[in-house]
Structure 1
Amino acid sequence: MAGENWAGRTVLVTGGLGFIGSHFVEELLGLGARVLCVYRRERPETLAELPVSERLTALRADVLDERALRDAAGTAERLDMIVNCATLDGNMQFLLQESGRMLDENIRITSNVLNLARDRGVADVVLISSAEIYSYEDTRPVREEDDHRRHMEFSPNGYRMSKMFTEVLADLYRKQFGMKIYTPRPTNVYGPRDDFATTTNHVIPNMLMRLAAGQDVEIWGDGSQLRTFIHVQDLVRAVLCMVRSGEHETLNIGTPESISIRDLAFLVAEAAGQEQDRIRFAPDKPIGAARRALDLEKFHSVVDFTPRSLKDGLRDTAQWYRKHVQEAQ
């Protein structure tokens, strides 16, 4: 699927009503593809945001159930690509308390998707990975080569371990079955339809929710720790560029715009139209790595657009939040 034209292609998106998955569905429909959107949880509000199209088929199926996934995929005569966005995630407490379950379920999802793709002869498979696979000790911009092949480390975080083993399984399936499998590694993803539940572990939704509720935003440490972010629509476009190019099986996806958590809080408050004095610091709390950044040399070699600035992306996210979350409450 190295061609530029997606019209007439059939793509199965798992987790198709989730945060990232729904944006893949929306983008692919806009490019003329036929999309089979497979989801586990009913989200009528998300489905209502997707384009009305005869090229969209939405089916409820648990991708942990291999037979259910195959039955859903069987509704399409052919499959040109599978994009797996289905994953079990949660806040830090959930990550640590349910690590075994998270590793087990996420790997079984990956296995079911890969076996389906192998048996159906699917040309391209995308397994959304994460920059979480890299060592937390690395403060320099990490390259794609700085992964499990070079340094495999244990973590009590079941989500992180599941992404590592997803990539190991992808490596082995490429070698044994000659499959074309892409594992994009995004930095922190944000944007419309993010998880704005109280169980979220995503920093931007958490800040927006606290500000909307009239609460202060708490910054751990002095807020000097540096992070990078990518808008979800830019992530989707970058992954499709990755597949069209076919040049890299793994790819860091992000922007060169590093920002401290302190400055991020100020930007979020500005985007939300809130006073910046609603931010307080908790110097006794852990801050994690001082800096996390990705080497984007390969990213720039295959991506044919410039990702939006964080300021513009936050404004877009805050507008969506006000319209679809605050007004609905």
Structure 2
Amino acid sequence: MEELLATPARVYVAGHRGLVGSAVTRRLRADGHEVLARTRSELDLRDPTATAAYLRDARPDAVVLGAAKVGGIMANSTYPVQFIEDNLRIQLNVISAAHAVGVRRLLFLGSSCIYPRLAPQPIREEALLSGPLEATNQPYALAKIAGIVQVQSYRQQYGASYISAMPTNLYGPGDNFDLESSHVLPALVRRFHEAKRDRLDEVVLWGSGTPRREFLHVDDLADACVTLLRRYDGDEPVNVGRGEDLTIRELAEIVREVVGFEGRIGFDPTKPDGTPRKLLDVSRMTALGWRPRIGLRDGIAATYASWLSSAEPETLPGPAARV
């Protein structure tokens, strides 16, 4: 099969410092590609003029659009305007500018939150727009759905070789561990770490603990992105995940064990649970010959170690907590 992305290629990774972008950057460089990148201070992707000028000068062979405003339930609930407007602007600007300068390949990275709240499990790509979204992240989800439709529109109208991938919940080195804006897994790591440091007897988590979630290490996603760039050129988005899920309670128990917190886990059912279950059907991805390689517990342990090595001193265990 002829590969759709030649090696070496010049690839612009939008959002190269983020969780996804940094992993994709590592993988592309390891494969011999030249990665083009700009920091947020160097290039504001919400600015259409600046974005168009950069891509006109850079002339990449391919673009991976991983830049986005992301966050957990609290962040989505607090800043819905930014979650819809910033993401819409970034997508519109990057995709339209890429087409204008003749970029041959583009991969748009969405999110599994695009699917209806009560979609049949595991969720197939055909479930898109088949029912109401989860209210707690609707602005972000709608922005990502718009990105998918934009990619499909460029394919339909111009024959552009642009594609979309919908990753499941991601984690790994470089994740956001801020408790007010992080996703569930890094938030659990930090909560249990600080509880261990402070010798607490219990950690109380939001919700009932019963929702089921799927988690994929970001380095596995990066491998999937390269596979898609090389082998996939279809109209429909492609789910990327493990095809396995677990409850939030089960996840919390794994994180507690990895961190070494010996106290109790409690739950506050007055807080929102979010979508009851979100497991992706990944058969379209596995048909391309791709499989995830990093186990959940091993991935969490590596992520925790990576965070500890880069965390601020006040977040680390004190001398007493190390005993």
TM-score for the superposition, normalised by structure 2: 0.87
Please say if 1:299 is aligned against 2:299: no
Q: Using the alignment, how far apart are the partners of 1:183 and 1:111 within structure 2?
A: 14
Sequence identity percentage: 30
Question: Compared with structure 1, are the counterparts of its residues 245 and 217 closer, same or farther at alpha carbon in structure 2 (3 Å cutoff)?
Answer: farther
Q: Deviations over 1:5-34 (max 9, x none)?
A: 753200001111111111111111111111
Gaps of 5+ in 1: 42-59
The answer as to whether partners of 2:5 and 2:105 remain within 8 angstroms in 1 is no
1:213 matched to 2:202: no
Long gaps (5+) in structure 2: 316-323
The residue number in structure 2 matching 1:122 is 103
Distance 2:2 2:60 in 1: 15
Indicate the residue corresponding to 2:22 in structure 1: 22
| Structure 1: distance between partners of 2:289 and 2:88 | 29
* Aligned-pair CA distance for 1:257: 2.3
Match of 1:262 in 2: 249
Kindly state the Cα deviation for residue 234 of structure 1 after the two structures are TM-superposed.
0.4
Query: Where does residue 321 of structure 2 map in the other structure?
Result: none
1:258-292, CA deviations, whole angstroms, 9 ceiling, x for partnerless residues?
111111011111222222x2421223333233322
Task: Report the Cα distance in structure 2 between the residues aligned to 1:82 and 1:2, rounded to whole angstroms.
Answer: 19
The alignment status of 1:141 with 2:122, answered yes or no, reads yes
Moved more, 1-10 or 234-243: 1-10
Shift of 1:328: 7.9
Equivalent in the alignment of 1:84: 65
Which of 251, 256, 260 is the equivalent residue of 1:273? 260
Give the C-alpha shift of residue 75 in structure 1: 4.2
2:10 is the alignment partner of 1:10: yes
Give the C-alpha shift of residue 100 in structure 1: 2.9
Report the counterpart of residue 68 of structure 1 in structure 2.
50
Could you tell me whether the CA contact under 8 Å between 2:52 and 2:94 is conserved in 1?
no
Name the residue aligned to 2:170: 189
One-letter amino acid matched to 2:99: R
Shift of 1:39: 2.3
Query: Aligned pair 1:112/2:81, yes or no?
Result: no
- Partner residue, 1:232: 218
- CA change 1:197–1:6 in 2 (3 A) is farther
For residues 178 and 265 of structure 1, the distance between their equivalents in structure 2, rounded to whole angstroms, comes to 46
Indicate the SS of the match to 1:257: coil
Q: What is the aligned length?
A: 308
Displacement of 1:317? 0.7
Checking the alignment, whether the CA contact within 8 Å between 1:124 and 1:180 is kept in structure 2 is yes
> What TM-score comes out, normalization by structure 1 length?
0.86
Cα separation, partners in 2 of 1:2 and 1:196, compared to 1, 3 Å: farther
The amino acid that maps onto 2:118 is: E
**Residues 4 and 230 in structure 2, CA contact (< 8 A), matched pair in contact too:** yes
Q: After the TM superposition, which segments of 4 or more aligned residues of structure 1 sit over 6 Å from their partners?
A: none
Contact 1:118/1:177 (8 A) holds in 2: no
